[in-house]
Structure 1
Amino acid sequence: MATYEYRCVGCGPFEVRLPIGTAEAVRDCPVCGSSARRHFTAPSLTRVPPAMSAALTREQKSQEVPEVVTSVPSERRRQKPPHPALSRLPRS
């Protein structure tokens, strides 16, 4: 299934999921019923890892409602425990 975008003059853009290659050039708007032309957009062919998706969503949300910081973050960083294989290396 592919997502096709149409633009209604009165209602704006809307999306329709159809099998690939079956989208017509003009489709009725689901809100007002007038004809809407198909709008070509870039395909989304790759999947985004969940961590990157969360970061992109957070970034997009911060454009409209930025996160407010009330204090300076502490400079003390938590150290990661050493890798177990490193404990076998000779120490100098």
Structure 2
Amino acid sequence: MATYEYRCSDGSLFEETHPMGKAPDAVPCPSCGAPSRRLISAPHFSKAGSQAFRLIDATKRSAAEPDVVTSRLPGTPRRLQPYSSNPLHRKLPRP
């Protein structure tokens, strides 16, 4: 069964399922009963969603909205400052 999209003359959209290739060109609108014409629209191949599609969506989303990282990677050394901002440390001997 395929899902077909219809538009009523008042502009409301609704969907109906019919066997592939047997959908009528016009059906009565469920709200007002006026004849509604079938629309040509893009098919919905992956409405259920699989792991691969979730991964692709997450990758696209992370390009525009990256996750905030609050910690460093495990195993990376902590970077030490090469100097101190304390003025008393300037008096200490340097190696």
Normalising by structure 1, what TM-score?
A: 0.54
Amino acid across the alignment from 1:8: C
Whose radius of gyration is greater, 1 or 2?
2
Aligned-residue RMSD, C-alpha = 3.4
Q: Which runs of 4+ in 1 moved over 6 A?
A: none
Deviation at 1:21, TM superposition (A): 0.9
Structure-2 change in CA distance of 1:8 and 1:33 (3 Å)? same
Higher mean alpha-carbon deviation, 43-52 vs 5-14, is at: 43-52
Q: Is the 8 A contact 1:4 1:15 kept in 2?
A: yes
5+ residue gaps, structure 1: 60-71, 80-92
Deviation at 1:11, TM superposition (A): 5.1
Q: Output aligned runs, 1:1-92, within 5 Å.
A: 1-10=1-10, 12-46=12-46, 48-50=49-51, 52-53=53-54, 73-77=69-73
Aligned partners of 1:54 and 1:33: how far apart in 2? 43
Structure-2 change in CA distance of 1:53 and 1:29 (3 Å)? farther
Normalising by structure 2, what TM-score?
A: 0.53
The percent identity for this pair of structures is 37
